[in-house]
Amino acid sequence: MLAILHPNTALDSDAYRQTLDFLENLPGVSIRVHEIQGASQRLTEIYLLGDTKSLDKEEIEALPAVERAVRISEDYRILGRHKDDLRQSGFTYNGVEFSQNNLNIFAGLCAVDVPEHVEMMMQALEQHGEVCTRMGAYKPRTNPYSFQGHGKGCLPWVFEKAGKHGIKVVAMEITHESHIEEIDTCLEKLGRPTGVMLQVGTRNTQNFELLKAIGRQSTYPVLLKRGFGITLNESLNAAEYLASEGNANVIFCLRGMKTEAGQPHRNMVDFAHVPAVKRLTRMPVCVDPSHSVGSREKSPDGILDVMHATAQGVIAGANMVLVDFHPKPEKALVDGPQALLMNELSAYLEDIRLCHDTWKKRQGIYQRLTENSDI
C-alpha cells in the first residue's frame, strides 16, 4: 500500500510524527519514505511493504498526515500506475518540464567529435528555440577497436558551449558509475552552465549495479533505454530499479528491438508501445527514431523513414524525441549514416509539432465519444 501525505507536510510536525509512529509499528510491515520535489510543492509518499493485505485503507487515510492511500500492485511499485491512482506523472529539471502530456526534443550528435560540430549543432538549436540536446561522450561500442567517445576530456567544452547557447538539458549516456562523478565535478567547476540527463543505453538496461548507482543520486534525471532483446516488462522493471533506490525522475525510451524481422530497418520499430508504457507507468515516454531505423532511406513520398517513425511515435503521444543530427555526417565518428542534416531541422521540428498537435486533437475526438456514450 502507498500512503500519500498532504503536500508540503513538514517532517518535524506532530502530524507527521504520529503518522510515522503508527505505520512503523504495523506488524509485518516495513516502510520506505519517498520525497518528490515538484515545481511548486514537495510531496511525501510512504510505501508500506510486506504483509499489507489485511491493512484497512480507511484507517490509513484517517492518519493525520495522510491525504489518501492507494493499493499498489507488485509490479513497478513506484513508477507504475495502480488502480485509482491519479498521481501526476513527470518532473521539472533545470526549468524544463517532463511529463506524459508534453513534448521535448533532444536533437544532437550521437557522439561528440570536434568543437566545431558541437558549436554548429547547438547554434542551430538555439536559433530554433530548442533548449535540449543529445551529446554522446561515453560510447558503448560493439567493436573494442572502434572510437569509444572522448569521455571526460570533452565535458568542459561541451558544457560550456551548451551554456553559451541556452541549452538546459544535455542527454548523455554513461556506461560506468564513475561517469556520474566526472559529470558532476565538471558541471560544478563550471558553475553549472547546463544540466544533464543521464542516459542508460540499451546494452546496459539490465546492468543492475549501474542502475542502483544512478538511482542513489537524485541530482540528475535519467533516460532509460528499453533493452533491445528483453521483454517490455523486464525493461520496465529496470526503470523501477532506479526508482527503488530513490530516483523516480525517469524517462523511458523506446529505441527498437533487435530482430531480423525489423529489416530493412536497423531494429524493429516499437513505437506502438508508447501508449502501452504510459498506461502501465507514470513515466514520460521517449522515442529514438535514429537508432530504431538506422539509415537515411527515403520513401517515394519524399519523407525519410526516420521522420516517418518519429511521426508514428509522436502522434501516439510520445513525450520526448531523441534524435541524431550531424552537420557533416560523412565526418561523424559514430552513426553518421543515420544522422539528419542541419538543413532538415526546421522541417523536422515542424513535422513533430504537427504530430503532437494531432495527438492532442485525437484525444479530443475520443473524449467526445466517451462523453456522448455517458448520456
| Residue ranges binding ligand PEP (CB under 6 A) | 110, 136, 173, 201-203, 225, 255, 288, 291
Question: Which entry of Mn ion, ligand PEP, none binds 270, CB below 5 to 8 A by partner kind?
Answer: none
Nearer to ligand PEP, 71 or 296 (CB): 296
> Which amino acid is it at 250?
V
Q: What's the closest the beta carbon of residue 56 comes to ligand PEP, in angstroms? A: 45
Cell numbers representing residue 135 in the block: 551529446
Closest CA to 42 of 91, 80, 76: 91
Nearer to ligand PEP, 316 or 322 (CB): 322
Q: What's the closest the beta carbon of residue 198 comes to ligand PEP, in angstroms? A: 12
Nearer to Mn ion, 221 or 289 (CB): 289
Nearer to ligand PEP, 134 or 282 (CB): 134
Q: What's the closest the beta carbon of residue 335 comes to ligand PEP, in angstroms? A: 7
Nearer to ligand PEP, 224 or 316 (CB): 224
* DSSP H stretches of helix in the chain: 14-24, 57-61, 115-127, 155-164, 178-190, 208-215, 232-244, 274-280, 289-293, 305-315, 345-374
Measured at CB, which residue is nearest to ligand PEP?
201
Q: Is the distance from CB of 109 to CB of 134 less than 8 angstroms?
A: yes
Cell numbers representing residue 1 in the block: 500500500
Q: What's the closest the beta carbon of residue 335 comes to Mn ion, in angstroms? A: 4
From residue 61, give the alpha-carbon distance in Å to each of 1, 18, 178, 375: 11, 13, 42, 33
Closest CA to 297 of 268, 264, 267, 325: 264
Q: What's the closest the beta carbon of residue 209 comes to Mn ion, in angstroms? A: 24
Q: What's the closest the beta carbon of residue 325 comes to Mn ion, in angstroms? A: 12
By the criterion CB under 5 A, which residues form the site for Mn ion? 110, 335
Can the peptide bond before residue 115 be classed as cis, meaning omega within 30 degrees of 0? Answer: no
Closest CA to 182 of 155, 158, 161, 157: 155
- CA–CA dist 5, 19 (Å, integer): 9
Question: Which entry of ligand PEP, Mn ion, none binds 356, CB below 5 to 8 A by partner kind?
Answer: none
Nearer to Mn ion, 81 or 179 (CB): 179
Cell numbers representing residue 255 in the block: 529505441
